[in-house]
Structure 1
Amino acid sequence: MGRKEDQDKVQSVLELLKKQAPLTLKQEKFCNKACVERFLKAKGDSVKKAAKQLRNCLSWRDSIGTDNLIADEFSAELAEGIAYVAGHDDELRPVMIFRIKQDYQKNNSQKLFTRLLVFTLEVAIQTMAKNVDQFVLLLDASFFRSASAFMNMLLSTLKIISDYYPGRVHKAFIIDPPSMFSYLWKGMKPFIEYSQLVLVVSSLDFEESFEFNDYTSYPRVTSLRFDPSSIPSTKLGPCSSSRFSFTVSHSCDSVKPWYLSLTDTSASKVGPTNSSQISLGPVISPLNARSQSFASPIDRGLRRNDNFIRKGFFPSTPMPQKTQSLDPSMIHHPRTPKPSFLQSPALFFRKDYQVSRVEKSRDSFQSFLKFYRRPYDEMIYRSKMKPPLGGLISIVSPQLKRRHMSISQRF
């Protein structure tokens, strides 16, 4: 019975839309059953509100020109990897990454930013499977210096998604925001529709995570990595200089294949080696094997002089004489407190959601960390685009080999 009521509401919304203005062929294709159900769910199953929002969405799409968006318009953005679809998660949801810089909106208009956002969303929707209708957003805020500038960009992004793409967001992560963003976000969070789906994480919490090591599938990245076979074979063995003795072990598997030692032989000394000339200058030895310009004033002095007394450059203040003697039994030494499971009284007043908020964000972002660290490849992203969004590159494949035509074949 409930299923029958949902179908009736969907038909009611479509009838209201057709009464206001006839729908074109592309608009009818856009207003399918799943689309109308998402608008109904966003408006609490209200037919009038859903029809009004859907009509506004159709008008907005016509004003933006979503049917005319192609990749050729965003050649510079695609080359830098400002906004792209990084892949799909375990539930086949597309994961989008936005690495927009703070100066981007200063140098470009708001309309261009909106068209870039809509283009990326449309590419993500094209790559969705049949039973998938949501996506994941990864907003890299490390390129922003101002918290207010990033907040304006975030609010405009979430506003467009909530008004014209309702029910599409599964999760959104804000990565490395400016320092003052947490205070602004705390004040604006109650007024944002998708605030419960937005989590703030820090990439520093995952510095020790080396689970993702999938760079082998990217030849551009693997070419920059260290290749031991590219180094010509050299003769291994000891090597000594006037100051150091450098030895390379024959086992290349060792953690530390080299060993550096400072020798105190006559061949490793710099300066006079005669005992009668020692007083003329210092001698390089394991005790004094660093540059004399960085050595302390005492080390620059004569170490071989037994009568040398170490004193400060300035006379020290004389200490007052002792007037009374202290009893050693009266001295109380601090003791290490006994371990306790109650580390602070504030634990009695801390709520459970406050304790697990950071851990919840980290656990949720753990599965999307590989998309954030994966290097960007323009050709892989362009291969996900379908006509007409892909532009000429998606229509004419660069791997297409044309046969050579002679003059007689051309005419």
Structure 2
Amino acid sequence: MSKKDERDWSRVEAVLELIRKQTPLTVKQEKFCNYACVERFLKAKRDNVKRAAKQLRACLSWRESIGADHLVADEFSGELADGLAYVAGHDDESRPVMILRMKQEYQKIHSQKMFIRLLVFTMEVAVSTMPKYVHQFVMLFDASFYRSATAFTNLLMGALKITGEYYPGRLHKAFIIDPPSLFPYFWKGVGAFVELSAVTSMVSSLDLDDEDESFAEITGGRGVMKEGSCSSSRFAFTVSHHVDSLKPWYLSLSETSAAKRTPVVQRTPRPSFLQSPAGTVFRRGERVCRESFLAVWKLYRRPYDEMVYRSKMRGPVGGEFRRRHISLSQRF
């Protein structure tokens, strides 16, 4: 054992000794406070033993208050059926990828404590699926169902705060996908006060439209509209992809010989003064490298299947299974 390893081990033992002096640890708490866990808390507090012990003690109390060791899937049967929060798979580095596809109405119906329990349950499933050499996960926040930038900002900050305080060193990268148009201005003001803002980035799914070809390999070509023309006995239309944040594709209708009496429908052009949400997100200095998100793009577009997700759960947390498949038309 090198001198550095000896110093690291002595710090870990010092943290555990401070915690045991206050209150004896239970069997589950002893299992939770392993070497890797204490080392993450020490790294988060820059090797300060007292501060790391204080944060770890607060984490243990918090886990006990919400019952983190007793969460089961049957408590979230509705959320799992709808695919609101789940582990979609693993990226190229074997890191679990969590997708939170929350809806704005969820917070109106359910309490904040219910959302926290759902978030913790999802993170616990992600941690349990990590290989031995992996210690971090990736989080995808799908904000496409949110209309209010304020509501989504509150949800995001709450989730990142819990991750930073009680799961230090676990988050590798967080992506905010298709946020409300005003969210970048909110995030610019509050992001400086969020500990994990450095690993949090905004992306637009419209910026990756050309990746639909690779997505077609997963779905067998279903749900992907390709460029070209199509005609019937009543009308003909052409699908062409343009850089347009308001409409992912443009339909130009024209008369056919069998339906010349049908008037031609023209789309209203987008006003020049209307700023593109994608353009607002991708300002200079905030543009995300495409490659960093492409690693999880296929997982994000893959249809959700509750049975596949439950198969990732270990032990009794999986509970009973109620089959419900979410199709592409329901998700997008």
Letter in 1 for 2:316: P
> TM-score, normalized by length of structure 1?
0.63
Query: SS where residue 376 of structure 1 aligns?
Result: coil
Query: SS where residue 212 of structure 1 aligns?
Result: helix
Query: SS where residue 138 of structure 2 aligns?
Result: strand
- Retained in 2: the 8 A contact 1:43–1:50? yes
Alignment of 1:22-33 (within 5 A): 22-33=24-35
C-alpha distance in 1 between matches for 2:257 and 2:310: 62
User: Residues 256 and 23 (structure 1 numbering): CA distance in 2 closer, same or farther, change over 3 Å?
Assistant: closer
Alignment of 1:193-272 (within 5 A): 193-209=195-211, 210-215=213-218
Q: Which runs of 5+ in 1 are unaligned?
A: 217-221, 227-254, 261-285, 296-352, 395-411
C-alpha distance in 2 between matches for 1:57 and 1:362: 35
Aligned equivalent of 1:73 = 75
Aligned equivalent of 2:277 = none
Aligned equivalent of 1:403 = none
User: Residues 187 and 390 (structure 1 numbering): CA distance in 2 closer, same or farther, change over 3 Å?
Assistant: same
Which among 18, 21, 32 is matched to residue 19 of structure 1? 21
Alignment of 1:6-405 (within 5 A): 6-209=8-211, 210-215=213-218, 290-291=260-261, 294=263, 355=284, 357-358=286-287, 360-392=288-320
- Retained in 2: the 8 A contact 1:98–1:138? yes
CA RMSD in angstroms, aligned pairs only: 2.8
Q: Whose helix fraction is larger, Structure 1's or Structure 2's?
A: 2
Q: Which runs of 5+ in 2 are unaligned?
A: 234-255, 265-281, 323-332
What CA deviation, in whole Å up to 9, does each residue of 1:259-287 have, x standing for no partner? 99xxxxxxxxxxxxxxxxxxxxxxxxx99
Query: SS where residue 128 of structure 1 aligns?
Result: coil
- Retained in 1: the 8 A contact 2:307–2:321? no
User: Residues 290 and 18 (structure 1 numbering): CA distance in 2 closer, same or farther, change over 3 Å?
Assistant: same
Letter in 1 for 2:260: R
Tell me the CA shift for residue 208 of structure 1: 2.0
- Retained in 2: the 8 A contact 1:71–1:389? yes
Tell me the CA shift for residue 212 of structure 1: 2.7
C-alpha distance in 1 between matches for 2:74 and 2:229: 52
Letter in 2 for 1:370: K
Letter in 2 for 1:212: F
Tell me the CA shift for residue 215 of structure 1: 3.1
What CA deviation, in whole Å up to 9, does each residue of 1:171-225 have, x standing for no partner? 0000000010000101111111010100100001111222233436xxxxx6978
User: Residues 96 and 193 (structure 1 numbering): CA distance in 2 closer, same or farther, change over 3 Å?
Assistant: same
Larger Rg: 1
Query: SS where residue 211 of structure 1 aligns?
Result: helix
Q: How many residues align?
A: 277
Aligned equivalent of 1:230 = none
C-alpha distance in 1 between matches for 2:263 and 2:113: 58
C-alpha distance in 2 between matches for 1:19 and 1:169: 30
Query: SS where residue 202 of structure 2 aligns?
Result: strand
Query: SS where residue 125 of structure 2 aligns?
Result: helix
C-alpha distance in 2 between matches for 1:25 and 1:92: 29
Query: SS where residue 141 of structure 2 aligns?
Result: strand
